[in-house]
Amino acid sequence: MTNHDRSSYWLPFALVCSLFFLWGLANSLNGSLIRHFQFALDLKRWQAGIVDSAFYLGYFIMAIPAGLFMRRFGYKKGILAGLLLYAAGGLLFLPAAEVRLYGFFLFALFTIASGLAFLETAANLYVTVLGDAQRAEWRINFAQSFNGISIILGPVIGSLFIFSQQEYTPEVLAAMTPAQIEAARVEEALSVRGPYGAIASVVLLVALLFWLTRMPEIGSDEEQAQERTSAWVLLRRYRHLALGVLAQLANVGAQATLWGYFVDFKMDFSASRHLAAVVPYAEFWHSAIKKAAENMTLEQMAGYHASFALVLFMLGRFIGTYLMTRTAPRRVMVGYSVAAVILVGLALLTGGLPAIAFLSLVYFCQSIMFPTVFALATKEMRPSEQKLASSLVIMAIVGGAVMPPLAGLLSQAGGMRLALVVPLVCFAYVASYALWGYRPTRLDAATANI
């Protein structure tokens, strides 16, 4: 790459990194909503889990249209479309909170996720092609590190601005009149307006910055000269892509289950006992807005445990990115994914506070999985194939729509410990992809069209 290339790429690369920050925030807020809606909208745990289903269905439905849109109009317009959809979804939370219809909230989340499908399809691929191909895995993991920073804030925002200072236990509810309970549910539903309205405003500001910035279109000339293929042909032609789509589905399914139900895991496994490292962390955030730490509810404390686990996620991504400068990215993912399988297995066997410690460490291990699977699954393809391949890998985020409700149903049958079977199986498949399925394999054209 020439010095001119480097100077023309740094600003677009920096702006694209901001997108990773923004969608990390949206993803990490879902866990707070799942817990919050159980009381605010009077939902069962599995019903609240549909928050993740609506969110990740947006990725599944919009990923292919996003790839086709970018193939026709380019990266920049794809990113702008995604940002506008994201902002629209955030603004929809305002009327949804007023009318308190669960379906309205789900539609708002679906709209946000539709925007994120555009952003992730564009940004994940853009950072892999924006520079030296040999450093693609490192670049995407570096950019995803900004995602790791933002996801810490989701549970903190939930604890500070969404979760109530009053914990509505069955005993508390039994002492309240129906009118008091209804008033409490209304107040809880309205609490989501501030955070999502603020996020929508920031997203619109970022959209303005992108509109004003020149973005190089990498590979556009080559695309025009090459034959375009269908999604089905791509999956038949590239074995590592097909297996990578399944690996991403399993990875996101495991991640969504842990993130979505982490507060529930904490409340079920160890409601009143806390990890020693989390206590000062929670007191710091609680005192930051001048709230007395001694007034913290157990639910808020569980939210801080979730945020602390996401600090480990961020550290895992930074450390993993560094390790990738020393050894092959795939080898780093092998170590991380095998460790995740072991830790989830230990959490399933132990329960209690040790299980919370093991699950927190799983966050460290899963940190590099999404970007590394993405980079491995889309390697060694022609420019005309990469955008559609990127859409297919992003479509696999639908695993986050399928796995949390399944885990919720398992929890009803055998408690939250049984729900851990879902991430255990998912991480086992990711480990198998890192060990064997990643190898770039291109079938000949005749075979691919059979």
For 83-121, give the DSSP string: HHHHHHHHHHHHHHHHHT-HHHHHHHHHHHHHHHHHHHH
What's the CA gap between 83 and 62, in Å, rounded?
14
How high is the pLDDT of residue 4?
43
- 442 three-class SS: strand
Neighbours of 339 (CB within 10 A): 18
How high is the pLDDT of residue 432?
95
How high is the pLDDT of residue 111?
95
What's the CA gap between 224 and 159, in Å, rounded?
50
- 328 three-class SS: coil
How high is the pLDDT of residue 166?
66
Residue 311 · residue 152 · CB < 8 Å = yes
Model confidence pTM above 0.85: no
Residue 25 · residue 150 · CB < 8 Å = yes
Using only the alpha carbons of the chain, give its radius of gyration.
Answer: 22
97 is written with which tokens? 């909170």
How high is the pLDDT of residue 450?
40
Residue 439 · residue 240 · CB < 8 Å = yes
How high is the pLDDT of residue 225?
46
Class of domain 3-448: mainly alpha
What's the CA gap between 422 and 255, in Å, rounded?
10
How high is the pLDDT of residue 227?
54
If you count them, how many residues does the chain have?
A: 450
Q: Which of 263, 262, 253, 317 is nearest to 59 (CA)?
A: 253
Compute CA 418 distance to the chain's CA centroid, rounded to the nearest angstrom: 23
Residues 6+ apart with CB under 8 A from 429: 246, 247, 250
pLDDT tens, per residue, the chain with 450 residues? 444 444 456 777 778 888 888 878 887 787 778 778 888 888 877 788 788 788 888 888 998 888 888 878 888 888 999 999 999 999 999 999 999 999 999 999 999 999 998 988 888 777 777 666 667 677 777 777 777 677 777 777 777 777 666 667 677 777 888 888 888 888 888 888 888 999 999 999 999 998 988 877 665 555 544 456 777 888 888 989 999 999 999 999 999 899 888 988 999 999 889 999 998 988 887 776 545 556 678 888 898 898 899 889 989 988 998 898 888 888 999 999 999 999 999 999 999 999 999 999 999 999 999 989 988 998 877 766 877 888 889 889 889 888 988 898 898 888 899 999 999 999 999 999 999 888 877 655 444 444
Q: Which amino acid is at 328?
A: A
How high is the pLDDT of residue 448?
45
